[in-house]
Structure 1
């Protein structure tokens, strides 16, 4: 269970809760370093050391109505899994709670976006994720932003520094905004409507979070990611943090867990 959260009844996800942690250990399309299946456990484990009190907001995490649904067991059929996961997350929304999805590979965000039906998809990510497919797989972790645009009116990718030529061409269209790492600290969210906030931990420079599937240098520092989450949280109807694996000493999981808590404190405070 995520430290500071309560157990959630799987039959009534979100009931008597304001926020529901849902683990999604999908790890079928990882293209470099596998291990995202261990992400939910790693994030919960490395959250144990944090103080309950949040000095910036003056709130206690354990008093903010967070429950932990546990993990939605993953299997190899990504399409079927995403359909099932979407149903779980839809139940959370129907119970007037905010889902806190913990991956797993970034593909799980597709289910999160479909369940939330946001106006804007905001991703902290090293990669544009605008591919049609990766090696013939249309549900790869490299296609998430493209899938999000099937639901949302626009996408903002903050920290992007990697993509193929076709992705960068697609990113010039009016429904996509790219904020490069060097501009991220000065970016002010100017969004119209409900936001889905997705944090791919590889948005961070590998110096801060080496435990991820496709690390990309020249990325965001952890304090900038914290500030971005705080800025976007008040407009958000759902949150996820993804692509944490077990290939470091807990740096990526610690950052992911802290960003999840920052989201909850900032959202609740607003």
Structure 2
């Protein structure tokens, strides 16, 4: 169970669901261990958030466990989409724990947002990777089949074709050097996807395709808290087991920051400033 997720499913405002898919990782595998690692390395966090004057245990979070993954990604994404759609139909916000970034396709389809914001080192706008149209490198392109627009924050690498696609009117790229000053003025509803490799690998080495010159945890924290009030869904993905817990710790902290800020804006928490960092 994600620490502090004590609500019953029927009364939950937020539902954590693990999606340990690990079939298209192109360098360092291990995302199948991501959900459990995020839960494990979140055990030391204090229940109280001074920015919102709220306790995590009071915010109606339920952990529904993991939806066991299998090798057929298309079939798995359909099943995952159905589970997440049930969460949305119940009026709760899904909190998806990956797993490789491909699981975000199911999250976007279930939540049907107008805008997708992705914190990521990579553009993920490929049509396919190694012949696979459901690779983790295709996520944003698939998201744009549902959403009207996408913002990719922290992107610093991509193929020539991806950079060309990123120049279209429906895509905004915020490079790492601009992320510290970026004000997320986006049109809602928003789906927020955080690929932990958006962080510089000095902060989160436990991920599949590390890319230097990335975001700081402080920048990611600010952006997550600023966007949370407009979000209908959230995920954090690409944590693996190849570090001492740095990536999983960052992921767990960002998930909690999302919940605190979202709940505060919805009137379920205190009135602290969720647009700043501590």
Q: Give yes or no for TM over 0.5.
A: yes
| TM superposition shift of 1:18 | 0.3
Which residue pairs with 2:98 in the alignment?
103
Which residue pairs with 1:3 in the alignment?
3
* Worse-matched range after superposition: 147-156 or 186-195: 186-195
Counterpart of 2:243 (choices 237, 241, 248) is: 248
Structure 1: unaligned runs, 5 residues or longer? 9-13
CA–CA distance in 1 between the matches of 2:229 and 2:149?
18
* Structure 1 residue 239 corresponds to structure 2 residue 234: yes
Which residue pairs with 2:82 in the alignment?
87
Counterpart of 2:163 (choices 168, 177, 185) is: 168
**Contact 2:98 2:239 (C-alpha < 8 Å) held by counterparts:** yes
**Contact 2:7 2:60 (C-alpha < 8 Å) held by counterparts:** no
Q: Deviations over 1:91-134 (max 9, x none)?
A: 00000000000000000000000000000000000000000000
Which residue pairs with 1:130 in the alignment?
125
TM-score by structure 2 length? 0.95
Counterpart of 1:261 (choices 256, 259, 266) is: 256
**Contact 2:196 2:251 (C-alpha < 8 Å) held by counterparts:** yes
Q: CA RMSD in A?
A: 0.7
* Structure 1 residue 221 corresponds to structure 2 residue 220: no
Which residue pairs with 1:11 in the alignment?
none
The DSSP-based 3-state class of the residue aligned with 1:107 is: helix
CA–CA distance in 2 between the matches of 1:129 and 1:193?
22
Structure 2: unaligned runs, 5 residues or longer? 266-278
Which residue pairs with 2:273 in the alignment?
none
Counting only pairs closer than 5 Å after superposition, residues 9-24 of structure 1 correspond to structure 2 as 14-24=9-19
Which residue pairs with 1:66 in the alignment?
61
* Worse-matched range after superposition: 94-103 or 184-193: 184-193
Which residue pairs with 2:144 in the alignment?
149
**Contact 1:7 1:69 (C-alpha < 8 Å) held by counterparts:** no
Count how many residue pairs are aligned between Structure 1 and Structure 2: 265
| TM superposition shift of 1:193 | 2.0
Q: Deviations over 1:15-58 (max 9, x none)?
A: 21000000000000000000000000000000000000001110
| TM superposition shift of 1:7 | 6.4
| TM superposition shift of 1:189 | 1.1
Q: Deviations over 1:194-245 (max 9, x none)?
A: 0000000000000000000000000000010000001110100000000000
The DSSP-based 3-state class of the residue aligned with 2:256 is: helix
The DSSP-based 3-state class of the residue aligned with 2:101 is: coil
**Contact 1:125 1:160 (C-alpha < 8 Å) held by counterparts:** yes
